[in-house]
């Protein structure tokens, strides 16, 4: 037998939970919390006595495919989407808690790449944030459940219910890039049966610039966390993460605020339908009063409530309406 | 066709995420947080500017079986184990974030029962705690990831590293009851192939009192949260949740503290092996200085570090050593 036949990759099933945890923590920046990982729970400082908390889960199958996402990508994305939810309240992300449920044949190299992705997302998007706790379990389905915590640092939380008639409607970040990436995945990286195909370096290099950028944004979204905090400081009246598509998320903001959000498709670039319907960019939808100094680009105006929560060019929008994991499950299975 | 053939139970796949969420939130006590569920993230008050945070996951297969645990039991247990980790730091639980990943054929009645279990655990164990956020996703494997947050209310966190030579070692809560329950499940509620059998009311009624109590503790552990907080107030030098068995968890405390914990088997009831090795009771291991007024029952003494982190009657303990999900996975599969 050759070496390749007698040795195989170390898997999480070969190691104790403690050994796996050390392998993760060794790749992350050290904790600066009063109590970091390793005790029953972490202790974190939130100087103004208010903590912002959110949780979001990525499940193999409906939320990602290992043929398409590298372990690094998954660590990066699972951090980024939670950091965006904290920042959308006007809070500075300070900590992640990461629960990882893995099949016991998962190679330990997966765990290392995943930890590197977590670390990279924190370093790039939210440098005050570290992984302060977590949990490892066995599962037949690879599942990543991340909780993010943030500090308001004296700011008032910016809620989705604060939009007022006359406010300008702004978007910070990109629209439609992640949806373009999903189209690339479904269109080019599946076989005739719909089974995901691995993205080889050659296939990635053969993509046009727009498709390559969309693919990168789909796999590793880069929510503009620092700009969201500046928007809060600039007096944003309402803010939320655009995770499920501009129209669907604007509908949620409009319903929470008791207003209608009138969008102008001319502000949405050369593919307004993709910008209106495509999810997963994790930019921010923000409203500012007329007298504020806004951030982002203006996409519409808050008006008095009409029969429609959101209008596009003063009409109801009839395009595809964002992402609901239950409804889109069959599509996601492909 | 009869009605029973033409109608079927409503499943989570029939409903939108928002509809399912409303079904959960309607069964829970209302939020008292500055910002409760429904925005990008919750905002919670921690008056002394420090928040305690922990996360723990239950996965169908290694962590529970639907034949054995009712939806109510799962809601109760997933809350209880996380509340215990918060209390083990000396913190008062204030919020749960609950991420639920479910197959799309999960009946909606599961979600209702699960929510009732969450609510019951908070009401009984930690009345200041409410569900302040969460996430729903589709998965082939039913997975429950709960994050619990707590407020120290001016207390210093009680770490597992604080045990000092000469301290008394105490246990608050039960030992070995949940392990007895696991023995009942594996011994009486599996068929010849090891497949779990549903626990009928008749079968439960036929259990002796001890087995019935063990089964109840295994399925719905009741960590004495309020007593853990009183132990912190009484000056506990170290404290931790006993989740994986007394010897294994005492080993962790001893290693973190640089001491040896000398246990006395005569203090451990009539089945010391089960008390030493059995996990999942979620009581508390606590150390107190000699001059303190301790809580719980004394089970040993902290001594200078020896070659063994833990001794039982001055010898190394050679019994079965607690619960590690990776190592015990095959047993759990049965």
Residue B320 reports pLDDT greater than 80: no
pLDDT average, residue stretch B61-82: 96
Residue A331 reports pLDDT greater than 60: no
Query: At what angle are helices B108-125 and B17-25 packed, to 10 degrees?
Result: 40
Cβ contact (<8 Å) for B35 and A95? no
* Alpha-carbon A44 to chain mean position: 23
The minimum CA-CA distance between B106 and chain A, rounded to whole Å, is: 12
pLDDT average, residue stretch B26-35: 92
Residues recorded for chain A? 334
- The whole-number pLDDT of residue A322 equals 55
Q: Tell me: is residue A134 an annotated ligand-binding position.
A: yes
A37, A53, A255: which to substitute to probe chain B, counting the most B Cβ within 10 Å?
A: A53
Residue A305 CA to residue A310 CA, distance in Å, equals 9
Residue B229 CA to residue B127 CA, distance in Å, equals 13
Residue B90 reports pLDDT greater than 80: yes
Q: pLDDT band for A293, please (50, 70, 90 cuts).
A: very high
Q: Give the position of tokens 């049966």.
A: A193
Assign residue A168 a region (left: φ > 0; alpha: ψ between -120 and 50; beta: otherwise). beta
- Residue pair B263/B312 in contact (Cβ under 8 Å)? The answer is yes
Residue B237 CA to residue B90 CA, distance in Å, equals 11
Quote the tokens at residue A86: 């904290």
Cβ contact (<8 Å) for B145 and A145? yes
pLDDT average, residue stretch B96-114: 96
User: pLDDT tens for residues B239-259?
Assistant: 999 999 999 999 999 999 999
User: pLDDT tens for residues A112-138?
Assistant: 999 999 999 999 999 999 999 999 999
Cβ contact (<8 Å) for A145 and B150? no
pLDDT average, residue stretch A46-65: 96
Average model confidence (pLDDT) across chain A: 92
Identity of the residue in A34, A139, A150 whose CB atom sits nearest the CB atom of B143: A139
- Residue pair A52/A150 in contact (Cβ under 8 Å)? The answer is yes
- Residue pair A247/A277 in contact (Cβ under 8 Å)? The answer is yes
Task: Tell me the β-bridge partners of A241.
Answer: A284
Instruction: Give the domain ranges of chain A.
Output: 3-151, 168-180+220-333
Question: Chain B residue with minimal CA distance to A86?
Answer: B41
CA atoms in the 13 A half-sphere facing the CB of A276: 25
Residue B47 CA to residue A222 CA, distance in Å, equals 33
Residue A128 CA to residue B259 CA, distance in Å, equals 34
Cβ contact (<8 Å) for A134 and B55? yes
Among 3.40.50.11540, 3.40.50.10860, 3.40.50.300, 3.90.650.10, what is the CATH number of A168-180+220-333? Answer: 3.90.650.10
| φ and ψ at residue B125, rounded to 5 degrees | -100, -30
SS3 (DSSP) at A131? strand
Identity of the residue in B35, B53, B101 whose CB atom sits nearest the CB atom of A132: B53
pLDDT average, residue stretch B157-178: 97
- ipTM metric: 0.92
Q: pLDDT band for A319, please (50, 70, 90 cuts).
A: confident
Q: pLDDT band for A142, please (50, 70, 90 cuts).
A: very high
Exposure letters B113-147 (e unless 16+ CB within 10 A, then b): bbbbbbbbbbeebbeebbbbbbbbbbbbbbbbbbb
Question: Chain B residue with minimal CA distance to A13?
Answer: B326
Residue A242 reports pLDDT greater than 70: yes
CA atoms in the 13 A half-sphere facing the CB of B228: 31
| Closest of B18, B93, B171, B315 to residue A322, by C-alpha | B18
Identity of the residue in A97, A137, A240 whose CB atom sits nearest the CB atom of B53: A97
Residue bearing the bigger pLDDT, B22 or A236: A236
- The whole-number pLDDT of residue A332 equals 38
Q: pLDDT band for A59, please (50, 70, 90 cuts).
A: very high
For B158-325, give the CATH class: alpha beta
Which residues in B lie closer than 8 A to residue A132 (C-beta atoms)? 53
Cβ contact (<8 Å) for A59 and B12? no
| Closest of B40, B111, B114 to residue B75, by C-alpha | B114
Which of A50-54, B155-159, B324-328 is least confident?
Answer: B324-328
Residue A212 reports pLDDT greater than 70: yes
Q: Tell me: is residue A323 an annotated ligand-binding position.
A: yes
DSSP state of B175: S
Quote the tokens at residue B271: 């089945």
Which of B112-126, B197-211, B249-263, B315-329 is least confident?
Answer: B315-329
Residue A11 reports pLDDT greater than 70: yes
Quote the tokens at residue A178: 């992640």
Identity of the residue in A38, A45, A137 whose CB atom sits nearest the CB atom of B325: A137
Q: Tell me: is residue A116 an annotated ligand-binding position.
A: no
| Closest of A247, A246, A174 to residue A213, by C-alpha | A174
pLDDT average, residue stretch A29-58: 95
Which residues in A lie closer than 8 A to residue B149 (C-beta atoms)? 51, 53, 149
The minimum CA-CA distance between A156 and chain B, rounded to whole Å, is: 10
- The whole-number pLDDT of residue A272 equals 95
Identity of the residue in A34, A61, A97 whose CB atom sits nearest the CB atom of B50: A34
Residue bearing the bigger pLDDT, A326 or A64: A64
Residue B70 CA to residue B199 CA, distance in Å, equals 10
- The whole-number pLDDT of residue B323 equals 52
Among 3.30.1330.10, 3.30.160.270, 3.40.50.720, 1.20.58.1030, what is the CATH number of B3-151? Answer: 3.30.1330.10
Residue B27 reports pLDDT greater than 50: yes
Contacts of residue A189, defined as CB under 8 A and 6 or more positions apart, other chains included, come to A67, A68, A196, A197, A198, A199, A203
* Cα three-residue angle B51-B53-B58, rounded to 5 degrees: 160
Q: Where are the beta strands (DSSP E) in A18-112?
A: 42-45, 50-59, 92-102
The minimum CA-CA distance between A206 and chain B, rounded to whole Å, is: 33
* Identical fold, B3-151 and B158-325: no
Q: Would strands A310-312 and A259-263 be described as parallel, antiparallel, or unpaired?
A: parallel
Q: Tell me: is residue A330 an annotated ligand-binding position.
A: no
């Amino acid at each position: 037998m050759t070496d390749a036949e007698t040795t195989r990759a170390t898997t999480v099933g070969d190691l104790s939970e403690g050994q796996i945890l050390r392998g993760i923590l060794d790749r992350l920046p050290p904790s600066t919390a009063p109590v970091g990982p390793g005790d029953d729970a972490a202790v974190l400082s939130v100087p103004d006595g208010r903590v912002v908390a959110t949780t979001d889960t990525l499940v193999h199958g409906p939320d990602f495919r290992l043929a398409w996402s590298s372990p690094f990508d998954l660590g990066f994305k699972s951090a980024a989407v939670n950091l965006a939810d904290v920042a959308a309240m006007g809070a500075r992300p300070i900590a992640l808690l990461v629960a990882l449920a893995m099949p016991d044949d998962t190679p330990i190299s997966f765990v290392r790449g995943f930890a590197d992705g977590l670390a990279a997302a924190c370093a790039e998007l939210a440098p005050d944030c570290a992984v302060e706790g977590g949990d490892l379990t066995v599962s037949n389905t690879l599942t990543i459940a991340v909780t993010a915590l943030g500090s308001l640092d004296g700011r008032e939380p910016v809620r989705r219910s604060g939009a007022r008639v006359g406010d300008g409607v702004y978007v910070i970040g990109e629209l439609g890039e992640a949806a373009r990436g999903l189209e690339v995945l479904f269109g080019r990286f599946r076989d005739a049966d719909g089974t995901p195909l691995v993205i080889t370096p050659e296939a990635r290099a053969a993509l046009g610039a727009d498709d390559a950028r969309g693919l990168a944004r789909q796999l590793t979204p880069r929510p503009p966390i620092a700009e969201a905090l500046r928007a809060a400081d600039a007096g944003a009246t309402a803010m939320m993460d655009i995770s499920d598509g501009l129209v669907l998320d604007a509908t949620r903001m409009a319903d929470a605020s008791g207003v209608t959000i009138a969008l102008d498709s001319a502000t949405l670039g050369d593919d307004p339908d993709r910008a209106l319907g495509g999810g997963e960019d994790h930019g921010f939808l923000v409203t500012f009063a007329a007298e504020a100094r806004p951030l982002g680009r203006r996409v519409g105006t808050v008006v008095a409530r009409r029969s429609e929560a959101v209008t596009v060019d003063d009409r109801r929008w009839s395009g595809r309406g964002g992402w609901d994991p239950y409804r889109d499950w069959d599509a996601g299975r492909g």
